[in-house]
Every structure is written in structure tokens, then in C-alpha cells.
């Protein structure tokens, strides 16, 4: 995988509890910043773009507008926003809209970093949100198909920012293509 840093902070620890059972601990490290001002210029720009892209969302049912903007390995920028539907399960999250666009326009180009923001029209937008379970699965698969980890920047319209070094860290014990062999 592309991120050496991620490999160092993603660890499985095992303890032999007795002769019949081992206990495994999964842990990973991520960065927490007080605000966007603490980020590097490039990361701050990407998060600001994600905040802007929340305005492109089609979310008349949840009123929860999500924006995602990614920088690809080739320097290109790709965006996505959530696209809802009156038939609710048809709706797509911003992250998967972005990944589908990236794969269609720039096939086989890895995603370096993805910033995700949101505008909750029913409440506050002042803390980081994390991708839903379905998007975690999609992010994991994308990392595998281009053989590079995806760094995530998570933040609302204001407030703290999380930086996750590798998206698949959010989905331990995951189901992958290896399980189908």
C-alpha cells in the first residue's frame, strides 16, 4: 500500500488469554486539528472545496448535504455530492459518487486524498462526520483496485478536523475479493 505512515499506526495486537483463546486488539491513529486553520495549505484548500461542493448536493429528503472532493495521483481534482431519490435506497452518498466519477474519468489513477464535509440544514455542521458503512466498503475496494491507500480529511463547515491516514482503517475485519477466491 502507498502509505508507510498508515502501516506504522495500524496495528493488531494479540494476547494469549488462556490455552483456548487469544484476544486481538485493533487500533489505529488519526490526527485531530482544532480547525481548518491548522491544516497545511493543500489540505485546507481541499476541505474548503468539499465545503463548497455541499451546495451541489441533491438532498431534499434528509436536508443533509454532503460534499466530497479528492485529489488524484495525477493531480486532477474530482468532486461528488450526495444524490437522493424519492425511492430512498436509490440515493447515493457523496463518497461513492466521487469514486464512480474518478474511476470513469481517470481509470486506474489512485485517489491520494479525499476531503469530506457536510451542511446539515436541520442542525449543526460543526464536527467531523465519517463515511457510512457502505462507503467504507467502497473506499476499501478502491484502495485495493489501484493499490494505494486513500487519505481522508473530515470536517464540517467549522470546528475540528480529523485526518485519517488510510480509509480502510475504518473497516477492520473487512470482506474483500480475497474472500471470494
Q: Which residues are catalytic?
A: 95
Q: Does 135 bind Zn ion (CB under 5 A)?
A: yes
Taking the complex as a whole, the smallest distance from the CB of residue 171 to Zn ion amounts, in Å, to 12
Q: Does 50 bind Zn ion (CB under 5 A)?
A: no
Give 101: exposed, middle or buried? Use CB within 10 Å, 0-12, 13-18, 19+: middle
Comparison of 6 and 138: residue with beta carbon closer to Zn ion: 138
Q: Does 93 bind Zn ion (CB under 5 A)?
A: yes
Mark the segment that binds Zn ion (CB under 5 A) among 69-77, 93-101, 156-164, 170-178: 93-101
- Residue choice 132, 172, 175, 176 for contact with Zn ion (CB under 5 A): 132
Long-range interactions of 172-181: CB distance < 8 A, separation 24+: 172/26, 173/26, 174/136, 174/137, 174/140, 175/137, 176/140, 176/141, 176/144, 177/141, 177/144
The alpha carbon of 8 is separated from its chain's Cα centroid by a whole number of angstroms, namely 19
Comparison of 91 and 144: residue with beta carbon closer to Zn ion: 91
Cβ neighbours for 61, distance < 8 A, ≥ 6 positions apart: 84, 86, 88, 91
Mark the segment that binds Zn ion (CB under 5 A) among 46-54, 132-140, 157-165, 170-178: 132-140
Mark the segment that binds Zn ion (CB under 5 A) among 36-44, 53-61, 125-133, 157-165: 125-133
Number of residues that bind Zn ion (CB under 5 A): 3
How far apart, in whole angstroms, are the C-alpha atoms of residue 16 and residue 21? 6
How far apart, in whole angstroms, are the C-alpha atoms of residue 85 and residue 108? 29
Comparison of 110 and 131: residue with beta carbon closer to Zn ion: 131
Comparison of 137 and 166: residue with beta carbon closer to Zn ion: 137
Nearest residue (beta carbon) to Zn ion: 93
Contact residues toward Zn ion (CB under 5 A) are 93, 132, 135
Amino acid at each position: 500500500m502507498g502509505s508507510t505512515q498508515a502501516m506504522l499506526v495500524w496495528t493488531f495486537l494479540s494476547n494469549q488469554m488462556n490455552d483456548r483463546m487469544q484476544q486481538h486488539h485493533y487500533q489505529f491513529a488519526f490526527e485531530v486539528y482544532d480547525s481548518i486553520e491548522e491544516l497545511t495549505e493543500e489540505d485546507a484548500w481541499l476541505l474548503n472545496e468539499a465545503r463548497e461542493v455541499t451546495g451541489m448536493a441533491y438532498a431534499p429528503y434528509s436536508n443533509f448535504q454532503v460534499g466530497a472532493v479528492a485529489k488524484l495521483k495525477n493531480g486532477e481534482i474530482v468532486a461528488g455530492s450526495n444524490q437522493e431519490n424519492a425511492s430512498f435506497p436509490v440515493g447515493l452518498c457523496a463518497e461513492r459518487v466521487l469514486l464512480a466519477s474518478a474511476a470513469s474519468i481517470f481509470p486506474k489513477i489512485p485517489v491520494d486524498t479525499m476531503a469530506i464535509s457536510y451542511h446539515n440544514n436541520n442542525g449543526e455542521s460543526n464536527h467531523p462526520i465519517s463515511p457510512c458503512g457502505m462507503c467504507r466498503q467502497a473506499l476499501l475496494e478502491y484502495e485495493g483496485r489501484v493499490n494505494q491507500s486513500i487519505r481522508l480529511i473530515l470536517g464540517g463547515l467549522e470546528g475540528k478536523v480529523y485526518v485519517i491516514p488510510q480509509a480502510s482503517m475504518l473497516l477492520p475485519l473487512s470482506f474483500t475479493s480475497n474472500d471470494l477466491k
